[in-house]
């Protein structure tokens, strides 16, 4: 679909504040990680990836939802124009980071979908949050929504593979591959559980060592 220059500029102006908000949010999460590393010798997450829907993608999504492709609908009906994916080493870190976000005053969680506690039928696991973020501009404060996905490294690897297969088969993944994916999801869960056990063992050993080293 082609658009005249006026329409293109109109949509670019709409997306611009989301670009700024994405940059600010990415920086804030990186600061959270660095602060925890400095104060607690602990990294809440390993990687952060960001994505900003472009006007053409926004318009297509509105049309899929049977909505008119207008700025108003984009602003009120779409909450994932900004996408942030954060990968953690352990499931425990995901819920810790969720708590950190809940306690912040500069962003508000408006929706949580816990696909870790309640995985999707195909085996997908992740913690999804929609947050509302007040962006300060010269023209005033603009509230924008962003979707945050929190996953372990194992969950992210599985989701990446499932995503590739989904598009390769145009949404019609063969049944035998669906079974293989579900089995892989169970193995990814086993890996997360095993890593959590190892982490707890290490913490217990360190705690015992610290007690032994305490002066009498």
So which residues are the catalytic ones? 147
Q: Output Rg (C-alpha) for the chain, integer angstroms.
A: 21
Assess contact for 91 and 114: CB atoms under 8 A: no
Classify residue 138 by its DSSP letter.
Answer: T
Given a contact cutoff of 8 angstroms between Cβ atoms, the answer to whether 133 and 21 are in contact is: yes
Q: 144: part of which helix (H) or strand (E)? A: strand 140-152
Q: Which long-range contacts link 94-100 to residues 24+ away (Cβ below 8 Å)?
A: 94/127, 94/150, 94/151, 94/152, 95/127, 96/44, 97/32, 97/44, 97/45, 97/150, 98/127, 98/129, 98/150, 100/32, 100/44
The token pair at 131 is 């947050």
Beta bridge partners of 86: 48, 150
Q: Sign of dihedral through CA atoms 67, 73, 74, 79?
A: negative
């Amino acid at each position: 679909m082609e658009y005249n220059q006026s329409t293109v500029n109109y949509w670019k102006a709409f997306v611009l504040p989301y670009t700024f908000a994405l940059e600010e949010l990415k920086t804030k999460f990186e600061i959270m990680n660095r602060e925890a590393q400095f104060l607690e010798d602990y990294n809440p997450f390993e990687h952060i990836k960001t994505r900003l829907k472009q006007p053409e993608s926004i318009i297509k999504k509105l049309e899929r939802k049977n909505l008119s492709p207008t700025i108003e609908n984009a602003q009120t009906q779409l909450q994932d124009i900004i996408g942030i994916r954060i990968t953690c080493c352990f499931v425990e870190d995901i819920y810790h980071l969720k708590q950190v976000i809940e306690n912040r005053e500069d962003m508000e969680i408006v929706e949580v979908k816990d696909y870790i506690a309640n995985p999707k039928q195909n085996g997908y696991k992740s913690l999804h949050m929609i947050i509302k973020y007040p962006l300060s501009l010269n023209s005033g404060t603009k509230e924008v929504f962003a979707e945050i996905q929190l996953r372990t490294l194992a969950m992210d690897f599985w989701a990446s593979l499932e995503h590739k297969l989904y598009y390769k088969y145009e949404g019609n993944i063969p049944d035998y591959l669906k079974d293989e994916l579900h089995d892989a999801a169970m193995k990814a869960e086993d890996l997360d559980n095993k890593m959590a056990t190892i982490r707890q063992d290490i913490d217990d050993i360190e705690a015992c060592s610290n007690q032994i080293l305490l002066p009498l």
